[in-house]
Chains A and B, each alone.
Chain A
Amino acid sequence: MSYEDWFRQDRLPHIYCAGCGNGTIINCTLAAVDEMGWKKEETIFVSGIGCSSRAPGYILTDSLHTTHGRALAFATGVKMANPDLHVVVFTGDGDLAAIGGNHFIHACRRNIDLTVVCMNNQIYGMTGGQGSPTTPKGCLSSTTPYGCTEIPFDLCELATAAGANYVSRWTSYHVKELEKAVKVGLETPGFSFIEALVQCPTAFGRRNKFRQVTDHVEYLKVHSLLKAKRDRMLEAGEKIPEDMYVVGELTKRSRPAMGVKP
């Protein structure tokens, strides 16, 4: 079996724009799920609202496409009602960190046995490119036409501080690494959070001087800083450049988890 068997072939091609990174993240997540050897009847995908949240609609298993920001609330319900199910959540930066911010921190605090994959395109893609809580400083969006002046959320640090058992960050360039990270997330009991930085050529790239999709992916590649290298730089007392994203396995621990069968 391969991860291609998890797609609803009749629903493809999907509606994402040409070059949208969401498709890549679905591939990597399904490849990891496939490696776990789980049955389709025992795996559930849950999402909120947004381009990223359309993902479960392209997957063969049972799924819930819920209300904006509430994916984690619904996923908690599914997991508590039947802890035998494997629950994977697809979400976007707006869905998870803006309207769904409270659900996010409390799901981390409770350390519920879910795996959450956040496709962070740093923008509200679906509604026409409004700035989100993760839009970087200086970036243009339809609500920040002179450049965003706010400090963005670091979703991984937020998840770690709130108590998640497993946290890692990769980008749509690092497909193999992302696949492995999702697999570790699926294996880890408790709340696993995987942030995937993705390109949104339509709402973000177009306004921020990424003429080609490949330019944005190249940007993500050269602005990724491996956690091990970051730690070495910190030890040597060097300054970490502000525009770098720390990638890798950021947190792995075994706090008591909810929804895990003893």
Chain B
Amino acid sequence: MKLAIDETRCKGCNLCTKICPYKIFKEGKKPNRKGTVVPELDRPERCTNCRLRNLYGRQLCGVCQLTCPDQAIHWTEEEPYELHKVAIEY
């Protein structure tokens, strides 16, 4: 699974930066088009739910999603990993 913040909903309160046990959410730096400073994700692949949701078949942790007052945090299904052909240029 992939962790994502919906920029159209986030109001930049920074509550997520406080409660994630892995400190994945970091205070943002630049305001977006709406003027909201949306937090940045620091190596989101560390998130328990990203790693183990599909293996366990249920929601894990999820405190950021429950805490976010603006329903802006969600997980999306990731494309299965595909092997890529690497073209080497000489």
CB distance from B9 to the nearest CB of A (A): 5
CB distance from B58 to the nearest CB of A (A): 10
The yes or no answer to A231 lying at the interface (CB within 8 A) is no
Interface positions of A from 107 to 163, Cβ below 8 Å from B: none
Q: Which of B8, B17, B63, B66 contacts A214 (CB 8 A)?
A: B17
When chains A and B are docked, how far (Å) is the Cα of A23 from the Cα of B63? 13
Contact in complex: B15, A214 (CB < 8 Å) = yes
When chains A and B are docked, how far (Å) is the Cα of A18 from the Cα of B34? 13
Known: A31-B66, A175-B66, A214-B18. A4 touches B71 (CB 8 A): yes
Contact in complex: A214, B68 (CB < 8 Å) = no
CB distance from B51 to the nearest CB of A (A): 19
The yes or no answer to B69 lying at the interface (CB within 8 A) is yes
When chains A and B are docked, how far (Å) is the Cα of A110 from the Cα of B78? 52
B-chain residues with CB within 8 Å of residue A12 when the two chains form the complex: 9, 70-71
Interface positions of B from 4 to 24, Cβ below 8 Å from A: 8-9, 11-15, 17-19
Contact in complex: B67, A19 (CB < 8 Å) = no
B interface SS class = loop
B-chain residues with CB within 8 Å of residue A213 when the two chains form the complex: 13-15
The yes or no answer to A24 lying at the interface (CB within 8 A) is yes
When chains A and B are docked, how far (Å) is the Cα of A217 from the Cα of B8? 24
Q: Which of B8, B11, B68 contacts A24 (CB 8 A)?
A: B68
B-chain residues with CB within 8 Å of residue A185 when the two chains form the complex: none
When chains A and B are docked, how far (Å) is the Cα of A7 from the Cα of B65? 14
Contact in complex: B63, A16 (CB < 8 Å) = no
The yes or no answer to B74 lying at the interface (CB within 8 A) is yes
Considering only CB atoms, which chain B residue lies closest to A3 in the complex? B66
The yes or no answer to B59 lying at the interface (CB within 8 A) is yes
Known: A12-B9, A13-B8, A176-B63. A217 touches B69 (CB 8 A): no
Contact in complex: A23, B18 (CB < 8 Å) = no
Contact in complex: A16, B66 (CB < 8 Å) = no
Interface positions of A from 195 to 243, Cβ below 8 Å from B: 201, 212-214, 217-218
When chains A and B are docked, how far (Å) is the Cα of A132 from the Cα of B14? 27
CB distance from B74 to the nearest CB of A (A): 7
When chains A and B are docked, how far (Å) is the Cα of A212 from the Cα of B74? 24
Which residues of B come within 8 Å of A, CB atoms? 8-9, 11-15, 17-19, 59, 63, 65-72, 74
Nearest first, the 9 A-B pairs at minimum CB distance are A23-B69, A19-B13, A18-B11, A175-B66, A13-B9, A214-B18, A213-B13, A18-B13, A27-B66
Further contacts, 10 of them, CB under 8 A, given A16-B70, A18-B70, A24-B67: A2-B59, A4-B71, A12-B9, A13-B70, A18-B11, A18-B12, A18-B13, A23-B68, A214-B13, A214-B17
